[in-house]
Amino acid sequence: MNDLSLLAILNSKIALGFIKSTSSEVRGGFLRWKRQYLSQLPIPAATPEQQAEIASLVEQVLAAKAADAAADTTALEQQIDERVTALYGLTPAEVALLGS
């Protein structure tokens, strides 16, 4: 898996929901992003084409933020989340269970 695709997965709503559901260390509303929790996150298999598509979206977000830190990249981030969700093969109901 290429670095940008992995970055997208780790920053996705799916990963956040997974960490929230497995982490017992939520203190004061803050999650503890510890290796023991992150290592449990299953990384889905992705074709080179899927990785390239996700990486392209990540590059667009990074370029927009580099040009203007306050740039609204919500639409791009939503597209990334949709593609990551598709990699996991989750239904909308399953995504809702993760609290995404």
Per-residue pLDDT, 33: 76
What average pLDDT values come out for the chain (100 residues) when binned by 10 residues?
Answer: 93 86 65 79 94 97 96 96 93 77
Give residue-wise pLDDT tens across range 49-72: 999 999 999 999 999 999 999 999
Domain extent listing, the chain: 3-97
Query: Cα(92)–Cα(100) distance, rounded to whole angstroms?
Result: 10
Distances (CA, A) of 97 to 39, 41, 92: 21, 16, 9
- Does the pTM surpass 0.85? The reply is no
User: What pLDDT is stored for residue 89 in this prediction?
Assistant: 93
Angle between the N-to-C axes of helices 48-67 and 74-88, in degrees from 0 to 180, rounded to the nearest 10? 160
